[in-house]
Structure 1
Amino acid sequence: MQLLAFGDSLTQGYGLPQGEGLVPQLESWLRERGQDVTVINGGVSGDTTAGGLSRIAWSLTPDVDAVMVTLGGNDLLRGLDPADTRTNLDGILTEIAVRDLPMMLVGMQAPGNYGTAYQQAFDGLYPELAEAHDAVYVPSFLAPLMGDPEAPDPAAARAFLQADGIHPNAEGVARIVEALGPQVEDLLARVDR
């Protein structure tokens, strides 16, 4: 089975030695649990949702059985309009749906410095799109780095980030994979074999 991990630098494994990024760690985690899966690295550093929309069609090769979408972080870093992010993600998920592939959407959260209206518009688009496209939904890519889910502590994440304060280090990726893995297994269970 082939799972396309479609995203940006968080997917690509920016700043990490080969074998320590999200894709190889996730594939190892899944295989250790008996999943016969290859995870394809469809991560492009710096990619926005617009970039993802422009490349999703040719990324969905005939051997892809399921897709995990993790995009939006660079839209946030650039302060792009959440309406455009929504339109682009909707286009990506629609392209996946046209091919009748099971999909997962992994959310991002806007920081408060863009204002409450921006934050609500951005944060709200992920659950709404996941529901509209019947995608497995993961609310937050980075939440596993912030300790207690009931009282997340962004300061706690520092130990699991690289020096840039944005990208997870190898230990951070391992924590993300531990949290993400069971939901990826749910996604793979949707694949018609």
Structure 2
Amino acid sequence: MLNRFTTYGFCFAILQLLIACAPAVEEDSAIVEQQQAASDTPDEPVAEAKTLILAFGDSLYAGYGLSPNEGFAPELQKALNDAGQDVRVHNAGVSGDTTAAGLRRMDFVLDSLPRKPDLVLLGLGGNDLLRGLKPSETRANMEAMVKKLSDQSIPVMLTGMLAPPNLGQEFSDQFNVIYPALAKKYDADLYPFFMDGVVGRSNLILPDGIHPNAEGVDVIVDRITPSVEMALQG
């Protein structure tokens, strides 16, 4: 496990260099609001399926910079459908969301669904890192969301993030334990690092140096699908 975290730390160091060399990404507030509206109040009702997965996260879930069918949610749904599962993955990813923003909108998103989801993929925290927010705040917000879902008997899979080394050892030590600790406390499934296999590989990253391109999403989906299938089995 230590070796895996060391590898991720090295990859994140590369990512920080990519970000420093890339043009600043400025997400227009109007665009973010439109994305949130599209996510929270879809024009079309969620299609009926045997299994409903809610993908609740930030731009990494939303498919930032990609065509509508190239993002994480639609590609995960396709992978699960191709594996013979009748699954609908509802995309509730909003670009720019911090854990605090996610907590504020979670009730509304859940209420907008036609029924209780069979699984929630919870992937927030990346924007907290980019803004240098206190790990204690991230943990409190993440725990509030996990507890909210747990209280409603909704299974959760946390898709974790890892702190870049340039934020310091103390910060990393406090941040990197958030997802494993919450998974253990609330008996939730854990996929330790959402960007596993993509970070540090420029051919899988958009020109902004942050988000996965279509090929990068394919790598993420290939790696996470078995874990999602296991989570669905309970």
Partner Cα distance (1:112, 1:176) in 2: 22
Q: Is 1:23 aligned to residue 76 of structure 2?
A: no
Secondary structure of the corresponding residue to residue 207 of structure 2:
coil
Q: Which amino acid aligns with 1:43?
A: G
Q: Which amino acid aligns with 1:97?
A: S
**CA deviation after TM superposition for structure 1 residue 59, in Å:** 1.7
With the length of structure 2 as denominator, give the TM-score of the two structures. Answer: 0.76
Partner Cα distance (1:90, 1:6) in 2: 14
Partner Cα distance (2:170, 2:55) in 1: 30
Q: Is 1:95 aligned to residue 132 of structure 2?
A: no
Partner Cα distance (1:24, 1:48) in 2: 22
Match of 1:76 in 2: 129
Instruction: After superposition, give the CA deviation of every residue in 1:83-136 in whole Å (9 maximum; x if it has no partner).
Output: 000000000000110110111001101111111000111111110011111111
Q: Is 1:85 aligned to residue 138 of structure 2?
A: yes
Percent of residue pairs bearing the same amino acid type: 46
Partner Cα distance (2:189, 2:142) in 1: 14
Partner Cα distance (1:189, 1:42) in 2: 22
Q: Is 1:170 aligned to residue 223 of structure 2?
A: no
Match of 1:8 in 2: 58
**CA deviation after TM superposition for structure 1 residue 175, in Å:** 0.2
Q: Which has the larger radius of gyration?
A: 2
**CA deviation after TM superposition for structure 1 residue 63, in Å:** 3.7
Q: Is 1:57 aligned to residue 107 of structure 2?
A: yes
Partner Cα distance (2:184, 2:58) in 1: 22
Q: Is 1:144 aligned to residue 194 of structure 2?
A: no
Instruction: After superposition, give the CA deviation of every residue in 1:134-187 in whole Å (9 maximum; x if it has no partner).
Output: 1110110111225xxxxxxx3xx2110000010000000000000000011112
With the length of structure 1 as denominator, give the TM-score of the two structures. Answer: 0.91
Match of 2:21 in 1: none
Q: Which runs of 5+ in 2 are unaligned?
A: 1-50
Secondary structure of the corresponding residue to residue 34 of structure 1:
coil
Match of 1:33 in 2: 83
Runs of 4+ in 1 over 2 A off after TM superposition: none
Alpha carbons 2:119, 2:156 under 8 Å: kept:
yes
Partner Cα distance (1:115, 1:66) in 2: 34
Paired residues, what number? 181
Q: Which amino acid aligns with 1:169?
A: N
**CA deviation after TM superposition for structure 1 residue 49, in Å:** 0.2
Secondary structure of the corresponding residue to residue 15 of structure 1:
coil
Q: Which amino acid aligns with 1:165?
A: G
Partner Cα distance (1:112, 1:65) in 2: 36
Q: Which runs of 5+ in 1 are unaligned?
A: 147-153
Quote the RMSD (CA, aligned, Å).
0.9
Partner Cα distance (1:48, 1:35) in 2: 32
Partner Cα distance (2:194, 2:116) in 1: 26
Secondary structure of the corresponding residue to residue 220 of structure 2:
helix
Partner Cα distance (2:222, 2:133) in 1: 31
Moved more, 63-72 or 45-54: 63-72
Q: Which amino acid aligns with 1:144?
A: G
Equivalent residues in 2 for 1:149-164 (5 A)?
A: 154=200, 157-164=201-208
Q: Which amino acid aligns with 1:45?
A: S
Secondary structure of the corresponding residue to residue 56 of structure 2:
strand
